[in-house]
Each structure stands twice: as C-alpha cells, then as structure tokens.
Chains A and B, each alone.
Chain A
Amino acid sequence: MSQNKIQLDPSNNNSRVTWEGCSVLLDINDGDRLVFARLTAASTLKIGNKNCSLQPLVGCPFGSLFQVDNGKEGPVLCRALPSKEDEAPEKGENQISEELRDNRAIVDDNKAQTLTGEDIDEMRRQGAKGDEIVEALIANSATFDKKTAFSQEKYRIKKQKKYAPRVLLRRPFARSICEAYFKKYPNRIGFLRVDTLSLMLSMANITANSDVLVADMVGGLLTGAVAERLGGTGYACSTYLGDTPNSIDIVRIFNFSSEICKRIVRAPLSDLSLDQNGTSAQTNSHEDVCNMEIQSNDQISSSVVMENISISSENVVSDIVPETTLSPASKFCKAPKAGEKASQEALKLWKENGFSSLIMAAPEIDPWNLVKDLLPLLSYSAPFAIYHQYLQPLVTCMHNLQIGKMAIGLQISEPWLREYQVLPSRTHPCMQMSGFGGYILSGTRISGS
C-alpha cells in the first residue's frame, strides 16, 4: 500500500501539477470564498445551488483558472484562459478628470433591469455561457450607460461573480492555509494571523535539519508550518500534556510527501523530560511501553474509522468550507500519516543534545506553565518563540524567565499588517483590516552554569 502511495504522490513535494488525491485550495471569485478540497473521483464543489465535480481539476497545473459552464447534466468546471479584460488599455491619470458622469440621475427603484429571472433561466436552458448572460444583463440595464466608468466596472464584476463564477486552483501552503482559517474560523487557530506565524518561524530559527520542539494547540497549523520549512529533514516534535495528543488535523491539508510526514512526530511531555537520575528512566520506559500500546490501539481504531467513514474525516479537511461536500475517497488518496509516536532513538538523541528550538502556540494554556518545563529541553543558545492571544500571560512568562535567568534577548512583539488597494488615482489602505494578530514572546535560552 505504501508502494502505491509513493507512486501516486509525486515524490517531489513541490509538484506544480495536481494529482488524484491531492489536497488543493480553491479560490472562488478572487478570494470571495476559499475552499480546501481533496481531488478524488467523487468530490464535488457547491457553487450557487449546484454541485460541480472536481474531476476536471485532476492533472492540471496549479494556477489554472476554471469557469463554470452549463453542461448537459448541470454545471461543469472548464479550463478558462485568464481574461484579457484585465489588460484594458491604460487610461491612466486622465480617467478621473475626464469622468463627467455621476450618480445624480440614478434612482434605486428596481426598474433598471428589464431581464427577469425567468429570462435568465431560459437563456441557461438554451446553453448560454455565463459571460453571455452578463452581457445580456448589461444590454438590458437602463442605467448602465449613465454609470461612471468605475461603477460600470463594479457592476460587471458583480454580475460576473454571480453568473460566471471563476475557480482558481491553488497550492495549499502554510500561507494560504493560515489565511483561509484566519478568515473563516480564526478561533480554531487561536487567532494566529499569517504575519505572526511567519515571524514565529523566523524567531524560532526554523530551518532544515533542526530538531524543533512544537507545542501546537492550534489544530496542527503550527506543526504543519514547521514541517514545511524542514522539508523532510530534522524533526518537528509535537509535545502535549497528559495522555491525549492535541489534534493536528490541519497537517493533512498540506500536501506533504511521506518524507515530510515521517518527520512529524509526537511525544508526551513526560517522555521528553530529562531524568534526574538513571533509575527513573527505567520506570519511565515501562510507562512508555504501556503508553505505546494504548497509542497503537488508538491508531488502529482511528484508522479503521477513517477508512469506513472517510466522509467524516474528509469533512475535517473541508470543514472550513461547509458548502463543499466531499464523497468517500479511495484509501490510496489518504495523505501519508503524520504524527507517529517519536522513536526511542529520537527521544534519546534529544535528551543528549537538546532541541534546536522551541515554537509554541497554546492559546488556552498559561504559557509559563509549559515554558518552565519545555525550556530546559532546549540546547543552550537555542531560540524560542511563544505565541499568545493575550498579552498578560506572556508578560508574566517573560518576567519569570528574566528572574530565573533562563533566557536573554527577551522581547514581546506584536505585528501590525495593513493591505492597500493600489489602482490608478484610487490608492488607499483597504477599508477593512485585521486589527490584531496576536503577541509573540521571543528569546534565546542561556546556559545556567
């Protein structure tokens, strides 16, 4: 089975063409809707009130654009070339001064459009393309010619989105996954914004061949982002308190090769802790055995569940897009399993050498509570980055680290991100922005002696 997997997943994790079973991000109407999906024979995407098969997307290069056309058996996704209308001749700076029209004559009485819903349905039945419907709507609008050039453009875009929706095929990366979650379900990722995540990866010096200690209570986003930077080298060791590992379901959205998945491991904090004397190590290893049995049972039962009702496990992925329905996938399409239990050799190595960095996003936990146990597991001079959505717990944590002389270069930072609309004569910051993306406490572990 693993042989099959390898054949199906391009060994190059950086593949730019989709394959059967790969995870994709669908950008509908220029970012209006972001949908994660797994491309299987049966998966569909709901657009408007119709379901479109995602099969035409298999084997296409990422970046391809699709348009919904009316096929014999309902709407079908067809490859579309990027429109040339974006390349409209440069009107440049004069545009505004030449504009003589304004909206004084436009009255909102719902009489401007003479085309009825029935007319449009009839056009659809006759196989009219979405773009043709948009043109018809414009031709039948009594007020279109009176609008300013800007609002004509707005009108056209609005109608195009409704009658000729476009779907852009994107590669899922930490960037797009974080953005999509932040937009739709920010609480599931602890309100961790993409710029904050990017800062954490820098501050924790995440790079190939490092052994990164990860405390991820943001659904696997952090673990996935770290693994993406490791590229199948080193380790992302996701640790947890107690017996139940935190969910890292989001990792499945990344198209990780099995090489990368193997580098994502989990270990309870109790297994990582440095033993004060040799004898307790013995008892610990006993517990390990027990834990492992429980763990492996869990894994068996959970994988059974996955095969039987892969619908529900796929829903984990597509959760972010309740509108999408994905049907049972063949089991070859499963991403290779990430998050196995860390091997004894790996645990031993980490105890001897220490982790090369710590990265933490546990928005529900008092950071100091974890940091005081995790920091001693780091090599001397190892950097760390700790995320929290509240300032005060980080302040307390920073103060305690200072008092305890455990770290230097301590700093709490908060990124501020503003997007701009850049258009000829219409450049300004976007009207809506995220006002808060979280706080990071960063620093470097020092040697106590």
Chain B
Amino acid sequence: MDLITPGTGLIFWQLIGFLGLLFILIKFAWKPMLEALEERESSIENALKSAEIARNEMANLKAENEKLLAEARKERDEILAKAHESSNRMIEEAKEEATKAGNQMIEKAKAVIDTEKKAALAEVKTQVATLTLEVSEKLLRKNLSDDKAQKELVDEFVNDLKLN
C-alpha cells in the first residue's frame, strides 16, 4: 500500500467509524458530560455569588449594628446630660424657692411683730392716757379737800399703781 495515496478502504472505515463514534459520544457521553459540567459550574458560581451576598449582608448588618449602638450610646449620653441638667435645675429652683419662702416668712413675721408692737404701743398709750385721766381725776377730787388729803391720795394712787 502506498504512503501518500489514501486507501479507499481506510477512508471508508475511518468515515463510518469516526462518524459512528461521534454520534454515539455526542448522545451518550459529551451531552451528559457537558451538561453536568455546566450544571456544576453554575452551581459553584451560584454558591460563590450567594456567599458574596451573605458576606455583604453580614457586613451591612455589622455596620447597621454599629450604627445602632452608636446611636444608642449617643442617646444615653443625651439622656444623662438632660437628667443632670434637670436635676441641677430642680435643685437650683428648690433653693430659690426655699430662699424666697424664708424671706417671705421673715417679712411676714416682721410685719406681725410690727403690728403687734404698734398695737402694744397703742394700748400702752391708751392705758397711760386712761391712768393719767384717773390719776388726774382723783387728784382733782382730793385737791378739793386739803393738801394732806391730796398727798394721801397721791400715795394711794401710787400704791395702786404699784399694785397694778
């Protein structure tokens, strides 16, 4: 057989054999294999994608958590500051009120004392006036008799005064 002249027999069998193999392999080997490969590749790709998504979600959650935490911390600080401020204010107010109330009481007491003083003085004045009148009356009455009598009267009054 020649080296560079293709033999008809071999061409014939090669064509039949190769095409037969091609059809058998396409149907029973390459199709299921390529499909399985694609399926596996897509499942790996999906798994990678979902892992990426999960990772992103985790990161988001973490960031959100941190944000929430920071907010909470800020709020707490604010509340504390507010509480501090309001307590200070309350103390301040209480102090002010107490001072005010004390002052008022003092003033009221002063006023009462004043009026009491005035009333007492008025009463003393009326008493003195009445006494003076009585003394003058009695003096006048005794004066009418004699000096001795007058003197006795004065003494009597003085005694009376002492008795009072």
A binds B: no
B residues near A (Cβ < 8 Å) are none
